[in-house]
Chain A
Amino acid sequence: MEIYELNEDEKLILELLEGNLDEESRQVAFQKLAYNPNLQEDFLDYISINKAIDVDASQVTVPIEYTNKIFAKAETMQPLPGKFLESLKHTVMTGIFALLMLLPLFLGFNNGKQNSQSDYKHSKSPQQISSLNNISTNQNKITNNFENDEQKKIGNKEYSRKNLNSITQKPILKNLTAKPIVANQVVNLNSLPNTPIFVERVIPQTVNTELSINNNPQDIAFANMDNLQQESFQIKRNQEIGNINSNKFDLQNFKVSKRDLPPVLIQYHINSAITNPVKNIQKNSSIFGNYCVSVFLETFPNISFGAEFGNEPFSQIYLNSANSTEYTQTPNVTYFGVAARYDANQWKILNIHPVAQLFAGGSSLGPLTRLNMQLEYNGIKYLGIYCGIEGGFLLYSDQGKWLSSKKVGAIFGANFKF
């Protein structure tokens, strides 16, 4: 940069413009101006420029939307007492609300299922029930007196007879629970082919248990368990009852209901390489600020429902339509809500199967939806390891206007099923 020094005239004008001169110096300066028209003209020009600057400056005002935007954001940064709790409360309440919304759907499904079973039960006539009872008492009986399992042939068919006690001692699977509630009820389970039946006895009585098998085309096996001593035992269709290629089992005096406690799955995952389609937010994707914890109940075969909470960054991009100006920020969002999970076990290869998960709930900014598509490895007992992709869609409001933030990313996680 060139070195610049003021000459005497310039120094004089500067001092006059700054108003730093005392009265005596000022008089001397004005005398100089009076005898130097060029200098005088320069001085007046500078004064004119100063005046023009004042006018120009007065014409510039802060746009009101700038101020509004700053204070809208500042309000969220304000360290008010209980602000965190308020935010947490908002998140939890939204999540609970979402859970409550899902509950009727869940209960409705189960009621429908039980009703259909009930309908089937009542569709049987008393004669049919009587007939079945007769079959049970007149044909193959399994009692506690049997020491070992037994094969028996009736006509062209061969049936297995099992000692119910021995079955009891080796429970196989727990998918359905049957509880005796009213005497002389017949419950048909034929709508669940290949489904293991778990039978639970509430009040053990005397030793007089029998399991009878019918050999007609409507092959029916049923058990009169009124006097069964064991509190629980299992029957697995086509295995425990033997070679009967039957589609039906009737368990007399038992009501079948869904298993009380489905398998529970707890999982944790982190997000990585998260990218907003508009703005890269990888720098905000730390492991500890970017996680998800889930708890699922396997409510139906392959379908689980549960709850999730976690923390993820989302980009917020405000657009000023007046001048197309963008304002962006990337806050970490805490969320809580309901989730559904589908395990595509039918496509399992080498203990790896696809899984889809959907989340809906509330967050510290607004409603959030996330969709996960992942591949899960279940080669280790109780443990699952998975990776996949996640898409997120967040709605938030800015000055009464709803805006959205979208992103995609990779997820890595593990779960524990028991």
Chain B
Amino acid sequence: MNANFENISDEELIKLFKEKSNASIQAFETLYSRYSPSLYLYFYKFLKDSFFIKDLYQDLFLKIYELGVEGKLDNIDNFKGYLYRMAHNLALNKLKNDEKQRNYINSYKDSSEETDSISESNREDTIKNLQDALEQLPPQLKEILILREYNHLSYLEIAKITDETMENVKIRIFRAKKKLKQIMTNKSKKIRKMV
């Protein structure tokens, strides 16, 4: 990556996409390195399906580059929010379009669905238990929990991505954590001993 680009804002980097020189690809490379880990994490944790993830992940970044080259992102004032919003839409569309995921979508709409307890685990399986518990969260709670705890987005950013009020986001994230704790506690009475 070009070191000169590291201090340039996302919005300025996007404008460089149109440059008819190597600056175009270097600007893209800089943006990619900024957001690729967290967006991959988002897709990976939210969809938990490698068949989807590769498509979505590549489509997202290539679409961003294509739009940038065409100058269609010049008026974006919050690239990070735009990027996550795009990822959110891609993920939901993919889920909607896939027959196998119909039930998953239904449960996304009904976030009051109760989750089952899981089997006993031990200290060494903490991360595995967390992953299992995360999978058992209703998708609506799961997504915002990932955005908040894995991607470290602010409540406001999440609110903009999910089209909800900030207060709602805050409450739902806490609910998600509470449910996560509940699932993990059912599995092993003492979470703290596992970590």
A residues engaging B (CB < 8 A)? 1-2, 4-6, 10, 14, 42, 44-46, 48-53, 55-57, 59-63, 66-67, 69-71, 73-75, 77-81, 320, 323-327
Residues in B with CB closer than 8 Å to A1 are 110-112
Convert B90-111 into 0s and 1s, putting 1 for each residue whose CB lies closer than 8 angstroms to a CB of A: 0000000000000000000011
B175 and A4 within 8 A (CB): yes
Q: A10, A70, A75: which contacts B174 (Cβ < 8 A)?
A: A10
The total of Cβ contacts below 8 Å across the A-B interface reads: 119
- Shortest Cβ distance from B33 into chain A, in angstroms? 9
- Shortest Cβ distance from A344 into chain B, in angstroms? 46
- Shortest Cβ distance from B107 into chain A, in angstroms? 12
Residues in B with CB closer than 8 Å to A79 are 17-20, 24, 69
Closest to B59 in A: A327
Majority secondary structure, B binding face: helix
* Distance in angstroms between the alpha carbons of A44 and B193 in the assembled complex: 11
- Shortest Cβ distance from A278 into chain B, in angstroms? 15
B192 and A45 within 8 A (CB): yes
Majority secondary structure, A binding face: helix
* Distance in angstroms between the alpha carbons of A281 and B142 in the assembled complex: 36
B131 and A60 within 8 A (CB): no
A60 and B51 within 8 A (CB): no
A66 and B149 within 8 A (CB): no
- Shortest Cβ distance from A329 into chain B, in angstroms? 9
Q: Give the most central of B22, B24, B131, B172: most A CB within 10 Å.
A: B24
- Shortest Cβ distance from B44 into chain A, in angstroms? 5
| Count class of interface residues, chain B | 35 or more
Q: B17, B28, B37, B54: which contacts A327 (Cβ < 8 A)?
A: B54
- Shortest Cβ distance from B11 into chain A, in angstroms? 19
Contact stretch, chosen from B2-10, B60-68, B80-88: B60-68
Residues in A with CB closer than 8 Å to B58 are 66, 69-70, 73, 327
Q: B37, B40, B184: which contacts A49 (Cβ < 8 A)?
A: B184
* Distance in angstroms between the alpha carbons of A45 and B187 in the assembled complex: 13
B20 and A48 within 8 A (CB): no
B195 and A52 within 8 A (CB): yes
Closest to A328 in B: B55
Convert B178-192 into 0s and 1s, putting 1 for each residue whose CB lies closer than 8 angstroms to a CB of A: 101100110000011
Residues in A with CB closer than 8 Å to B175 are 4
* Distance in angstroms between the alpha carbons of A327 and B60 in the assembled complex: 12
* Distance in angstroms between the alpha carbons of A77 and B37 in the assembled complex: 23
**Given A56-B130, A60-B40; A67-B54 close (CB under 8 Å):** no
* Distance in angstroms between the alpha carbons of A242 and B5 in the assembled complex: 89
22 A-B pairs with CB atoms under 8 Å apart are A1-B110, A2-B111, A6-B174, A45-B185, A45-B192, A46-B181, A49-B130, A52-B126, A52-B127, A52-B130, A55-B126, A56-B127, A60-B40, A60-B44, A61-B40, A62-B37, A66-B40, A67-B36, A70-B62, A77-B62, A320-B54, A325-B50
* Distance in angstroms between the alpha carbons of A328 and B36 in the assembled complex: 21
Interface residue B76 (Cβ < 8 Å from any Cβ of A): no
* Distance in angstroms between the alpha carbons of A56 and B131 in the assembled complex: 8
